[in-house]
Amino acid sequence: MTQQAVTEERDDAVGTGADDHDGADAPPPVRRRRDPTVAATLSIVPGLGQLYNFQPRKALTFFLVTLLTLGPSVLLIMAGESFGHDLLQRRSFGLFLLVAFGSIIAFLVLFLLGLTFWASAVVDARRSAKELSEGRPPTQRWLRLKL
């Protein structure tokens, strides 16, 4: 085959040839088969289920948001323990109670928010896989974030 024949064949396969004027006889969109159970299981690591569904921006968002909420909550508890011991040794009981209460509230908020995003990643991966398998584009559930 000549180089020109290969190029024309590639153009026809991609659909960018000169014959594509109105798209009336264009083939239907490719249906991606995705297993919802696999997508949900992969979301044990937040974002992997979205990567499985070919949604990289959404995958990155779920991963970073989960990491940036669960990570600081664990670090807060670890750092708060040593800080609390220092306050108790200095006999600053009032300040200790205030810091302990504030850090517990911050931990709970961050941790619950992280778990919520993690669970949302699992549900979103499952729903998107189901929609892709049915030949529909995934529903835009994150309209404001443009994911």
Please indicate, yes or no, whether the overall pTM of this predicted structure exceeds 0.75.
Answer: no
Q: Please indicate, yes or no, if residue 14 is contained in any of the structural domains.
A: no
Does residue 25 sit within a domain?
no
Asked whether residue 128 is assigned to any structural domain, the reply reads: yes
What is the CA angle 92-98-103, rounded to 5?
Answer: 120
pLDDT at residue 124, rounded to an integer: 92
The pLDDT of residue 131 is above 70: yes
pLDDT at residue 14 is higher than 60 = no
Percent of residues, the chain, with pLDDT higher than 70: 73
The total domain count for the chain is 1
Domain membership of residue 76 as a residue range: 34-133
Sole residue written with tokens 């969109």: 29
Residues in the chain, overall count: 147
User: For residue 54, is it within any domain?
Assistant: yes
Number of H helices, E strands in the chain: 5, 0
